[in-house]
Amino acid sequence: MASGHISTGRIAENRKARHEYEIEDRIEAGLILLGSEVKSLRTGRASIAESYAGEDSGRLMLFNANIPIYEPARVNHEPKRPRELLVKARERNKLLGLIRREGMTLVPLSLYFNDKGVAKISVGLAKGRKKQDKRQAAKDRDWGRDKARLLRGKN
């Protein structure tokens, strides 16, 4: 990597989230990271598949996200430590209220570097789907795909 180069793009994605949950809103949040965590993310090795966001003493936190240790670092981090999410105070209070009152869930959707090279996470405000809802969503998705294929074939 050349000096001054800023890597951008997707680092990790939670593909199961769209199947397991009905995503109602998306929020972009910053992350408080250690230097070794940022270096590890730049290598593209991270997983948010089993992670979730929630409250810890009034702060919005990301739990169970796996950012592997960065071998060359002298001082390393705990791979699955809780990390604070950075959102505006009004947004944080709104999200915490929805989690507490309406049983909504905050699901990490993707972890990426924005165009300025800053690590961001896209979090979805979601409701869990029941088994029948998952089946119906799969049927709708398949029908949409088949319909598009049929319409494309007629042209």
Q: How far apart are CA 104 and CA 124, in angstroms?
A: 10
- Tokens 């950012």, located at residue: 67
Answer CATH for 9-129 from 3.30.56.10, 1.10.645.10, 3.30.1490.190, 2.40.280.10: 2.40.280.10
> What's the burial of 51, exposed, middle or buried (CB within 10 Å: 0-12/13-18/19+)?
buried
Residue 105: alpha-carbon gap to chain centroid: 12
Q: Measuring CA to CA, which residue among 109, 151, 102 is closest to residue 127?
A: 102
Each residue's pLDDT, cut to its tens digit, for the chain (155 residues) gives 443 444 567 787 877 777 677 788 888 888 888 888 888 888 878 888 888 888 888 888 889 888 888 888 888 888 888 888 888 989 888 888 887 777 778 888 888 888 888 888 888 888 776 666 667 777 777 788 888 888 887 65
63-39-124-28 Cα dihedral, nearest 10 degrees: 120
Q: How many CA atoms lie within 13 Å of 39's alpha carbon, on the beta-carbon side?
A: 12
Q: What is the pLDDT of residue 91?
A: 87
Q: Identity (one letter) of the amino acid at 62?
A: L
Whether 98 contacts 104, CB under 8 Å:
yes
Q: Measuring CA to CA, which residue among 3, 1, 5 is closest to residue 116?
A: 5
Q: Which two tokens stand for residue 76?
A: 């390393």
